[in-house]
Amino acid sequence: MPDIFYQKNIDDWALQLCAGRPDIEMDMAEDFLNKMYRSNPDFVFTVSRDFARGCQTPILVLPDDIPAHPYEVAMESALLAPNAQVSLYPWKDPEERIALAVRHIDSFLRAHKI
């Protein structure tokens, strides 16, 4: 569902933003959301595959498998990024796994603290 973030934000965020900021019109919010979510539709909306391949920043992937965060994309991201780590999946169910995921996050952040 590549359009899920655009639709959610155009229906909620953009309307609230425009209502609270008279200097921002709906077409401005639409332009922003189009650039953010629709300009690179073949992978993820924030980076290209080439960027992920060259990213030297350590990343931790906590895979999910919902329309907004498909498992396949999480795994491809982890495989592309040279300094990626992957946590367990599913990490939210059963509930007892959340503590293990949190420990993984904590150790990852401590290991990469500047």
Query: For 56-74, how does the pLDDT look when each residue is reduced to its tens digit (9 = 90+)?
Result: 999 999 999 988 788 999 9
Which residue intervals of 22-96 are DSSP H helices? Answer: 26-38, 49-54, 71-80
- Beta carbons within 8 Å of 49's beta carbon, 6+ residues apart: 42, 43, 76, 80
Q: Are 53 and 84 in contact (CB under 8 A)?
A: no
pLDDT computed for residue 1 by the predictor: 66
Mean pLDDT score across all residues of the chain: 91
Closest residue by Cα to residue 74 from 47, 48, 44: 44
pLDDT computed for residue 88 by the predictor: 94
Q: What pTM value is reported for the model?
A: 0.71
Residues recorded for the chain:
114
